[in-house]
């Protein structure tokens, strides 16, 4: 609902696309990439419904308490959703430093939930899809979103090039490599194909942004073939690790 209200500018300010076009960064994916939110919200809606009718095992996961806050995974998930809702109007009104702080808290809360509810502890395909998939996809996407927010803020302290693009190509390559590395680790060691898929999807979006000219979304002279290649390679590597992991499961 918050996304829908933000798009209609109910909160004031500008919508996400306008801000993305006005403040380009080297780690911002192209517009089509943001369609992933539809899948994230779909699986999180499944989670919201599923937690109302949990099995004994699922209830145990959702009741897991955080060592730091004492909050259950269910309550931390509610907190994460609230932080996401708060972030939107703050970001839309160009309070970028405050938005960065909220995004960091949002990410930390999601990771806290993910540590207790993930593919490694769920039982069976149905429980995995119902409980952990939405959380994993959301957390994976917020890795990229948090990087974009960092680059956004960097522009306001002078970290931008002569084209007005926030960040730098070398920093963006490092960021893309980090997204790919985390995606590979989650697929290979954690067996979390949902997390890896979103990482690969986001990297593919960065590749397209740096490869196919769109002067409205990104200054054409600033486009970097090297960054595009790095993002594409990262996406392919994550996809390859996913394929190997999926194949190994079929043979077990």
pLDDT in tens, 2-40: 555 555 555 566 788 889 899 999 999 999 999 999 999
| 3-class state of residue 159 by DSSP | coil
Low-confidence ranges of the chain (pLDDT < 50): none
pLDDT tens figures, 115-124: 999 999 999 9
Calculate helix-pair angle for 133-155, 193-211, nearest 10 degrees. Answer: 40
Distance CA 181, CA 29 (A): 18
pTM assigned to the model: 0.94
pLDDT at 106: 98
Which residues neighbour 142 within 8 Å (Cβ) at sequence distance 6 or greater?
103, 106, 107, 110
Distance CA 252, CA 245 (A): 11
SS3 call for 85: helix
At residue 34, the pLDDT reads 95
Contact present, 211 and 228 (Cβ < 8 Å): yes
């Amino acid at each position: 609902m918050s996304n829908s209200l933000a798009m209609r500018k109910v909160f004031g300010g500008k919508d996400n696309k306008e801000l993305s076009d006005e403040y380009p960064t080297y780690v911002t994916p192209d517009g089509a990439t943001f369609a992933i939110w539809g899948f994230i919200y779909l699986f999180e809606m499944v989670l919201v419904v599923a937690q109302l009718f949990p099995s004994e095992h699922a209830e145990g996961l959702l009741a897991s308490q955080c060592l730091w806050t004492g909050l259950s995974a269910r309550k931390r998930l509610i907190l994460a959703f609230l932080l996401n809702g708060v972030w939107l109007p703050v970001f839309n009104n160009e309070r970028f430093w405050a938005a960065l702080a909220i995004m960091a808290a949002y990410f930390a809360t999601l990771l806290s939930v993910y540590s207790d509810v993930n593919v490694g502890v769920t039982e069976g395909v149905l429980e995995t899809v119902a409980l952990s998939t939405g959380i994993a996809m959301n957390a994976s996407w917020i890795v990229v979103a948090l990087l974009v927010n960092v680059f956004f803020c960097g522009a306001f302290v002078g970290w931008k090039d002569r084209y007005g693009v926030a960040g730098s190509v070398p920093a963006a390559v490092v960021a893309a490599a980090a997204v790919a590395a985390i995606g590979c680790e989650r697929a290979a060691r954690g067996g979390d194909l949902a997390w890896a898929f979103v990482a690969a999807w986001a990297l593919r979006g960065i590749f397209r942004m740096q490869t196919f000219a769109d002067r409205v979304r990104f200054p054409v002279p600033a486009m970097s073939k090297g960054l595009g290649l790095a993002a594409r390679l990262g996406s392919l590597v994550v996809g390859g690790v996913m394929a190997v992991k999926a194949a190994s499961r079929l043979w077990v």
